[in-house]
Amino acid sequence: MKIRKLQIAIMAATLVVVGQARASLEVFDVAFTDSIAANVAAGVIDVNLVNGIAESGTLTVLNGFAAGSYTLIPVQIIPTGPAGSSTSPLGAFWYDNQIQGIPPGPPTAPFLDTYGLAFSGIGAKLGTEVNLWGTSAGVDGYTFYGYTAAGGYNPTVIGGAAITDRGPVVPEPTTMIAGALLLLPFGASTLRILRKNRTA
């Protein structure tokens, strides 16, 4: 009987922890346009509402030298840059993925600090990094840089940016199925214990 109570407690704790982790994430749209619309980017980030750090996301640069698809570079557990920032894999940028004003929220202008968000290129843009950071609270208070080892920094532009709240992260069906599958061993062992107790 003690084993059964322990298994139920473990299952309940697992569900609570998973639910809390998902509940603390909120989806935000990110957009940037330089002053002549030569570099336009749009994307989505998942922000942890407890610490204000973007944990995952994607960015599509629609035009300009850095045009292509990118994924958010997660912050490092042990900071390698100044003031607790991280250093990008190519060593081109210091970043912290911090959204200003969260917590408690909502985001406040400037939405990004002087380290900002860092993204790494995928597909045709493999080996490219981009960084979007805040420089002031003005209309064109954001800076957008791209970097490749062969080409150096390009673009290096300033412009306007926006971060807007989409709402809580909704778990994908595959995530919920995977969570249920993780609980199957607990259920099977509970059934074995119950059968064993009935036959005894």
Q: How far apart are the first and last CA of the chain?
A: 13
**What's the whole-number mean pLDDT along residues 34-41?**
95
Token digits of residue 12: 């309940």
Q: CA separation (Å) from 127 to 73, 75, 81, 107, 156?
A: 13, 18, 21, 31, 17
- Spatial contact of 167 and 27, defined as CB atoms under 8 Å apart: yes
- What are 1-26's pLDDT values in tens digits? 565 565 555 555 554 444 444 459 99
Question: What's the pLDDT at 19?
Answer: 44
Residue 183's pLDDT band (cuts 50, 70, 90): low
> Contact at 8 Å (CB) between 97 and 85?
no
What is residue 15's predicted lDDT score, i.e. its pLDDT? 46
pLDDT at 16: 44
Rounded to the nearest 5 degrees, what angle is found at the Cα of 191, between the Cα atoms of 196 and 198?
A: 30
Mean pLDDT of the residues in the chain: 84
Using one digit for the tens of pLDDT, what is the confidence trace for 83-141? 999 999 999 999 999 999 998 878 888 899 999 999 999 999 999 999 999 987 776 79
Report CA dihedral (11, 17, 23, 29) to the nearest 10 degrees.
-120
pLDDT of residue 17: 45
27 residue type, one letter: V
Q: Say yes or no to pLDDT of 180 above 80.
A: no
Q: What is the pLDDT of residue 195?
A: 66
| Alpha carbon distance 101, 93 (integer Å) | 23
Please give the pLDDT value at position 104. 84
Higher pLDDT, 19 or 169: 169
* Of 99, 111, 109, nearest in space to 75 by CA: 99
The per-residue pLDDT for range 40-52, each reduced to its tens digit, is 999 999 999 999 9
The pLDDT of residue 114 is 94
Query: What number is the average pLDDT over the span 158-186?
Result: 70
Going 121 to 124 to 127 to 129, the CA torsion angle's sign is negative
The predicted structure's pLDDT at residue 90: 97
Better pLDDT: 198 or 186: 198
Which are the contacts of 48, defined by CB distance < 8 A and separation ≥ 6? 24, 25, 54, 55
In this predicted structure, what is the pLDDT of residue 51?
A: 95
